[in-house]
Structure 1
């Protein structure tokens, strides 16, 4: 059976959204969101125009040594692993019970208690990102003056979602030598075997053949009424069982719980190579505007992204076709893999003066698309059957396509004369998905203190730069997170956690949390 505790632990331990909300975020952005900060070299991955202001007048180039980060998010229910384990135990109990009433009670309880809770809470997503020797920025002053930027990063996005379906009772009939021996049917929440026992007892206790026939006839009418809507094959099976019983023969029955419920797992391994160019276009401004804000600058930027993605998908059923716990492991072999390469185009503008900055970015202008494998082609019979059944119920899309939708992100900053104090905010104007289909539409607000403005380097270590931020996803999980970050010289540490908490393995944990480490240098 699917090991729930292992799945939860693996999702949380193994496995950060970027201004391009389809990607993950690390560095300062984990705390303050996708806003420009000269101390955050990683903000070149936000607004493409940021590159101009990241390389100072006295600098020729800058580069990042490396950054690594990760985050997780879980659904709105406590003790998901415990619930999955309980459902597994109930499935096994139904198989050892000799009573259809017990199986019926177990199925009813799972349908009313656990399926709704798991649909709400069994959502596990995680992200991780790693880059080394990037980004790289250098200034050109000749034919095409401006700043060129190059970035390379690898990231992992994972999502596991519980897809719930009704649990029914599978009754398998046994009568050695009978034509129906070993055949089975699923009758949802009906104690068929208990009724057969009642029929057998009625026949045995009747004093006369006429009384026995009357008892059999009454029960036959009840069965006919209950199963009038069944497929003909099931009616034929029931008819054979009832006739065999009315003739005085004993019919055995065993029970199992059947359901199409499954976990829908997606994993995206994404390698991104980006090349950008940004330049000061203040000369394009009208004389009136330049006179109104003589010290303001307008920068524009363009970025081309190349995405190479390995996309895995596996729908893992709770039970197999016989009602046994499904002994299937999550794996990443070629049967569950699709590879894709696509281009993405981003544009950006940044307007700023001595005490403020305003920016606008347009991401995924050309709508890059990626296709996941079809779980109806899974070589595992139980998984394939569950996927097709869930698709028929409208709970699962077999041909899942992730489209990185165009979206605009606005940002603004105000800062003190010495640039040590900053208030910043950003907001996405529209929704998009990440690579595993999680909807994203995020706003952020933050306050920062920049210690790098001190004149001596040793003071930076005594008084680090500090930032505090709030980020909120306005769609999907609608979670908000509070972040805190520090920078000592070239080293940055950021972490965040959601304000909502759930219970897992007996402990209260945030529904979402993240951590990022980054090193950047300048020359």
Structure 2
């Protein structure tokens, strides 16, 4: 049992995948969805934003990414000293049980630990990046602007599924403890190819109105697997990996985004709607019949059926990219070099592994016209749904091309006796100058 519990704890705290629907790429970590010409990555939020990314007054027609940004991050559940709790649970379950009173006492203590682990023991890891040179933005002389975006994002989450410990009598007439508690993991990879168009539709001394649309092609691979804690220790990690490979599916679909931005000399406001048609994608299925399961997988298969019957998981499910609307507002001074911006998503939606998010972001950025003075940006972000985690964000652009951004979680968890952030995101990439 100890080896299995440590394997489960390690997977929960260290599960990884080959992320990112719930977080932005690059400098958008810090700036949110507010369009800023000094940040190419903010062109990926509002479909009207690409219009502002190319300065046609200076004779420019193109703007592209170069490499990245590569964005990585993690979130962990609110459980302190998980490894200590695993050790404590293992010690309880390994005790020799000789009386029903002793069995019931151990059962109560172990159930309390398992319940806490079931509520809080989870880890989510994320990875995302554009394909090199993307996005590519072209602005014609008449102001019509086209964007091609190709990116890959992935996300994986491991949870501890808790099940009450039962006292049973084994074949030898001794008391024993049994549980269906398991590790459950889901992962998704999204290859996104987006084609956008934006154009000025009204212009006056007061400001300019730009409308934009974007069509996104998604190839989404979704998989899941379950590992019973008391299944055979032999090759369990390989079996879990094989199950994940066997229980994944790739489906395709299209998503439609629309956006509008009103830009004046000293302020800018925008609205956007993403996934207006709400495309759906299929998950790989868990087995619904255990008659053909191998001895190694038998207990995990039976546990999956039990959790499905209780409504804790679904053997067969679809993921829907839900419709979402967002507002943004910015104010500028010093010829737009200094900005204060805010963005707010009006409704919560789920990411590839089913976690809800709804971001509220406040940021400030300074960009110099000199290539030798770093651009700097700071911000605060909070998930108004789901985990409700909040972040302090910092970023810098060196030589007008190299972008580095960090989102530091303000909520803490104890790991190995030290307080660590429950969430952390980092991004680095190179893009063409603004």
Displacement of 1:99: 4.7
Structure possessing the higher radius of gyration over alpha carbons: 1
Asked if 2 retains the 8 angstrom alpha-carbon contact of 1:78 and 1:121, the reply is no
Identify the residue that residue 141 of structure 1 maps to in structure 2: 141
Residue 180 of structure 2 is aligned to residue 260 of structure 1: yes
Tell me which moved more, 473-482 or 157-166: 157-166
2:170 maps to 1:172 = yes
Does residue 417 of the first structure (1) align with residue 322 of the second (2)? Answer: no
CA offsets per residue over residues 300-321 of structure 1, 9 Å max, x none?
111111111221100222224x
Secondary structure of the 1:365 match is coil
How far apart are 1:23 and its partner, in Å? 4.7
Distance change >3 Å, CA 326–CA 502, structure 1 → 2: farther
Q: TM-score, normalised by structure 2?
A: 0.90
Deviations 1:137-184 (A, max 9, x none): 111236xx511111111111011122222111231133xxxxxxxxxx
Match of 1:272 in 2: 192
Q: 1:87-98 to 2 correspondence within 5 Å?
A: 87-91=89-93, 93-94=94-95, 97-98=97-98
Residue of structure 2 in register with 1:500 after alignment: 411
Alignment partners' CA distance in 2, 1:47 and 1:297: 16
Structure 1 segment 375-390 matched on structure 2, within 5 A? 375-377=286-288, 379=293, 380-390=297-307
**2:11 aligns to what?**
7
| 3-state SS of 1:487 partner | strand
Aligned counterparts, 1:424-503, within 5 A? 424-451=341-368, 453-454=369-370, 457=371, 459-460=372-373, 464-489=374-399, 490-503=401-414
Which residue number in structure 1 is paired with residue 63 of structure 2? 62
Shift in CA distance, 403/88, structure 1 to aligned 2, threshold 3 Å: farther
Between the aligned partners of 2:193 and 2:84, the Cα distance in structure 1 is 42
Match of 1:375, SS state, is coil
Structure 2: how far apart are the matches of 1:475 and 1:15? 26
Q: How far has the Cα of 1:400 moved from its partner?
A: 2.7
TM-score normalised by L of structure 1: 0.75
Shift of 1:43: 1.2
- Aligned pair in 2 of structure 1 residues 81, 372: CA closer, same or farther (>3 Å)? farther
**C-alpha distance in structure 1 between counterparts of 2:287 and 2:105, whole Å:** 31
User: For 1:90 and 1:152, how far apart are their aligned partners in 2?
Assistant: 52
**Could you tell me which residue of structure 2 aligns to residue 328 of structure 1?**
236
Q: Which deviations, in whole Å up to 9, do the C-alpha atoms of 1:90-132 show, x marking residues without a partner?
A: 33x15x54555444332211112x1221123212111101222
- Please identify which structure carries the higher strand content: 2
Q: CA deviation at 1:85?
A: 4.0
1:350 paired with 2:261, answer yes
Q: What is the aligned partner in structure 2 of residue 83 from structure 1?
A: 85
The 3 A distance-change label for structure 1 pair 307 and 24 is: farther
Name the SS of the counterpart of 2:254 in structure 1: strand
Structure 2 counterpart of 1:110: 110
- Kindly report which structure 2 residues correspond to 1:18-57, keeping only aligned pairs within 5 A, or say none: 22-57=21-56
Specify the SS of the correspondent of 1:55: coil
Helix, strand or coil: the match of 1:475?
Answer: coil
Aligned to 2:126: 127
Provide the C-alpha distance between the structure 2 equivalents of 1:477 and 1:436, rounded to a whole number of angstroms. Answer: 13
Instruction: String of CA shifts for 1:211-235, please: whole Å, max 9, x gaps.
Output: xxxxxxxxxxxxxxxxxxxxxxxxx
Alignment of 1:241-260 (within 5 A): 253-260=173-180
What is the alpha-carbon distance in structure 2 between the residues aligned to residue 491 and residue 431 of structure 1? 32
Q: Report how many residues are paired.
A: 416
